[in-house]
Structure 1
Amino acid sequence: MPKKKPSDDDALALVLSDLKGEVPVSDLCRKYRVSTATYYKLRDHFIAGEVQGLQNNGKTNQVKALELRIKNLERALGRKPLEVEVLKKRKISSLTNFSSRF
């Protein structure tokens, strides 16, 4: 039986099936047509990813960067109405000063 690299979905199903503990690893490997060495690599990769997710409160670095960008953009957007108001007052003031000259 030729061995193959499983798809991401199959790899996840394989690891989760083993973690449930209902079927021996050898049977799972046979079902998904992977070697036991491949299974253990997949399992270790899966567990390492889960630990990293827990350490980051389930957020990847990309998600954290995007949240920071959103926060900065919201802060900048919040300043815009104030800037518009200041510019309007300056415009009115400059128009008043200009018209009083004539």
Structure 2
Amino acid sequence: MSENEQTGKRRTYRKFTAQQKTELVVASLRGHKSVAQLCRENEISETLLRRWREQFLAAGQERLTGTTERGENDELKQRVARLERALGRKTLEAEVAGELLRGWE
């Protein structure tokens, strides 16, 4: 039985801000200190820092390729085009209906 289980205490986890994570990831990428040394100094596991690095690099790659933005922009442009066509049809229908009603007078 662990000490925490014997005393009834729960293990508490530290919360790291995005800024703190970024600073650690950038420091690990610069290579002035090894990953192991950074982890010891900041009392975190190497696995955690490597996970942050993977997330950081994946987000950077996605941002640089712009695939998400382009896909969203294309989708919005298509939606605008559909709405413009629908508005055009309704405008034409209203004009035709107005002409027909004037013919009844």
TM over 0.5, shorter chain: yes
CA RMSD of aligned residues (A): 3.0
> Which residue is 1:67 aligned to?
73
Which is bigger in relative contact order (C-alpha 8 A, separation at least 6)?
A: 1
In structure 1, the gaps of 5 or more residues are: none
In structure 2, the gaps of 5 or more residues are: 1-12
Q: In the superposition, relative to structure 1, how do residues 8 and 93 fare at CA in structure 2: closer, same or farther (>3 Å)?
A: same
Q: Please give the secondary structure, in 2, of the residue aligned with 1:93.
A: helix
Q: Could you tell me the percent identity over the aligned residues? A: 20
Runs of 4+ off more than 6 Å: none
> Which residue is 2:25 aligned to?
15
2: CA distance, partners of 1:75 / 1:98: 35
Q: Please give the secondary structure, in 2, of the residue aligned with 1:7.
A: coil
The alignment of Structure 1 onto Structure 2 pairs a total of residues equal to 92
Return the offset for 1:28.
1.5
Query: Which one of the candidate residues 55, 58, 69 is aligned to 2:66?
Result: 58
Map 1:23-102; keep pairs closer than 5 Å: 23-51=33-61, 53=62, 57-60=65-68, 63=69, 66-99=72-105
2: CA distance, partners of 1:45 / 1:81: 44
Return the offset for 1:49.
4.1
TM-score of the pair, normalised by structure 1: 0.60
Return the offset for 1:20.
1.4
TM-score of the pair, normalised by structure 2: 0.59
Amino acid in structure 1 at the alignment position of 2:45: S
Return the offset for 1:35.
1.7
